């Protein structure tokens, strides 16, 4: 079948970043190449499509219904996962997910339901291989739309300052969660700008709210360009290593050096950017100072990595060969 005759229906799991990067982005790249439609989040309908491309289908009830849908109409599914939501989440994560039910659904139905599975990194692929053969799994990292994320470089401010954009699922009301204690101690009294929900242990009044995903690149850049470094922390655990390196790529796009946790999710980062799990305040200061002294080198390094991560049509066409 020629691509122009292929009928695809894209069904995001939500209307937030996950649905945007993982489902709406490929739709935007393919809609002019084939007969592609975009459904509201979580809404499945049949109108002659050959494939449904959706995400995070885990619960037994949903998987069984979609399997019946598949058998009735003879269509195919591509199902994307950008998180492990079938094992117990870290105690500080505020998401309420029935991982036992999700595991049960994945084990019983995923191999029959999914004709192909996509995911964000190799660690997650290995995780998913307990449910489906590896040859059915394609790693497609989170990518940026060139039209939205191609920013000119602006000179960084002289002093040391930090920007953090992260959800409240990375910590709770009593613990630092993904944040290393030594980093928190170092950041006390330092200029920190927050986008989203302010962590209780970060002392700053410079906070801007989340915005709709369509406005996110501009708002992210407006915040980040006022700071020297972008921070992204993920705990070195099973759940963390399944996460994406998206913040690193976004930092590269806006032209600010990213400091990130030393875990497999950030394997593309330069060694000078990586923060050990049990970093002390003194070691964190050393990492910041070293990164500051090598700022242009790290920016150039990030920029080269960014060139491999633009959202291109060719990344997705291979799924339908």
How do residues 55-94 score in pLDDT, each as one tens digit?
A: 999 999 999 999 999 999 999 999 999 999 999 888 888 8
- What integer pLDDT is reported at residue 94 of this predicted model? 84
20 domain-assigned: yes
- What integer pLDDT is reported at residue 310 of this predicted model? 96
56 domain-assigned: yes
* Domain end among 88, 113, 140: 140
Using one digit for the tens of pLDDT, what is the confidence trace for 180-236? 999 999 999 899 999 999 999 999 999 999 999 999 999 999 999 999 999 999 999
Beta-strand pair 7-11/51-55 = parallel
Q: What is the mean pLDDT of residues 161-182?
A: 93
The answer to whether residues 15 and 126 belong to one domain is: yes
Q: What is the mean pLDDT of residues 45-63?
A: 95
The answer to whether residues 122 and 173 belong to one domain is: no
Secondary structure of 196-222 in the HEC alphabet? Answer: ECCCCCCCCCCEECCCCHHHHHHHHHH
What pTM was estimated for this model as a whole? 0.94
The answer to whether residues 160 and 99 belong to one domain is: no
* Domain end among 99, 114, 140: 140
User: Length of the chain, please?
Assistant: 321
**What's the domain range around 43?**
3-140
> Going by C-beta distance under 8 Å and a sequence separation of 6 or more, which residues neighbour residue 94?
168, 169, 172
For residue 76, the domain's CATH number is 3.40.50.2000
CA count, 13 A, side-chain hemisphere, 115 = 16
């Amino acid at each position: 079948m020629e691509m122009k005759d292929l009928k695809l229906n894209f069904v995001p799991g939500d209307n937030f970043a996950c649905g945007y990067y993982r489902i709406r982005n490929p739709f935007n790249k393919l809609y002019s190449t084939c007969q592609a439609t975009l459904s509201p989040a979580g809404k499945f309908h049949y109108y002659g499509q050959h494939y449904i491309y959706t995400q995070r289908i885990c619960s037994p009830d949903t998987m069984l219904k979609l399997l019946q849908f598949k058998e009735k109409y003879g269509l195919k599914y591509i199902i994307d996962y950008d998180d492990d939501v079938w094992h117990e989440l870290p105690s500080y994560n505020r998401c309420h997910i029935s991982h036992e039910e999700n595991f049960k659904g994945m084990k019983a139905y995923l191999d029959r339901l999914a004709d192909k599975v996509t995911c964000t990194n190799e660690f997650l692929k290995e995780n998913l291989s307990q449910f489906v053969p590896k040859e059915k799994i394609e790693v497609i990292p989170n990518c940026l739309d060139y039209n939205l994320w191609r920013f000119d470089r602006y000179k960084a401010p002289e002093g040391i300052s930090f920007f953090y954009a992260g959800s409240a699922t990375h910590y709770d009301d009593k613990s630092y969660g993904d944040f290393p204690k030594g980093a928190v101690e170092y950041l006390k009294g330092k200029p920190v700008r927050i986008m989203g929900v302010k962590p209780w242990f970060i002392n700053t009044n410079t906070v801007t709210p989340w915005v709709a995903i369509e406005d996110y690149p501009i708002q992210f850049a407006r915040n980040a360009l006022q700071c020297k470094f972008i921070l992204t922390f993920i705990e070195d655990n099973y759940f963390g290593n399944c996460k994406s390196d998206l913040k690193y790529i976004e930092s590269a796009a806006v032209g600010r050096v990213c400091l990130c946790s030393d875990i497999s999710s950030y394997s593309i980062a330069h060694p000078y950017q990586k923060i050990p799990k049990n970093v002390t305040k003194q070691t964190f200061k050393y990492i910041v100072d070293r990164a500051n002294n090598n700022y242009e080198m790290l920016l150039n390094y990030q920029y080269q990595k960014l060139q491999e991560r633009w959202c291109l049509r060719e990344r997705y066409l291979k799924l339908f060969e």
